[in-house]
Amino acid sequence: MGSIAAKPRLMIVDDETNFAEYVADVADEYGFEVAVFSSARDCLEAIGSKKPDVIIMDVVMPDMDGVELVQAIGRKLAGASVIVMSGYDVRYLNVVQTLGEAGGVKICGTLMKPFTATELEIALSPFLPQRCGEGS
């Protein structure tokens, strides 16, 4: 059997480019191969070629809201896990999570913006590659 890719693939979808770059920098430091998209439509176009293990997506974006995006992800790529983030009311996160799961999308976490690097690491930890010798 072939070996699994050395780095898990992460797609970040957020129209707030500075925040998306922050998430990308932290995820890259943790060992992810990262692709950043500032629009939901660009993300959907790239899903087939990027084949992400996990997608971190914002809920409120100008071209497509989180409900539409998570439903489209479910239609295109049932295998990727999704982490939903928002700087708005937690109810946005709950609605997207409920509808995403109803559509067959594995929602593996939610994050309220702004969040810390530690909170992001906890959310991404199921996908992190083994980090040998850490803390010694």
CATH code: domain of residue 70: 3.40.50.2300
Q: What is the mean pLDDT of residues 29-37?
A: 94
**pTM for the structure as a whole:** 0.87
Confidence band, pLDDT 50/70/90 cuts, at residue 130: low
| Domain span including residue 104 | 9-126
Q: What is the mean pLDDT of residues 64-85?
A: 85
Residue 99 lies in a domain: yes
Residue 122 lies in a domain: yes
Residue 71 lies in a domain: yes
What CA–CA distance (Å, rounded) separates 60 from 15?
Answer: 8
Q: In the chain, how many domains are there?
A: 1
Nearest CA among 119, 41, 126, 28 for reference residue 82: 126
Residue 1 lies in a domain: no
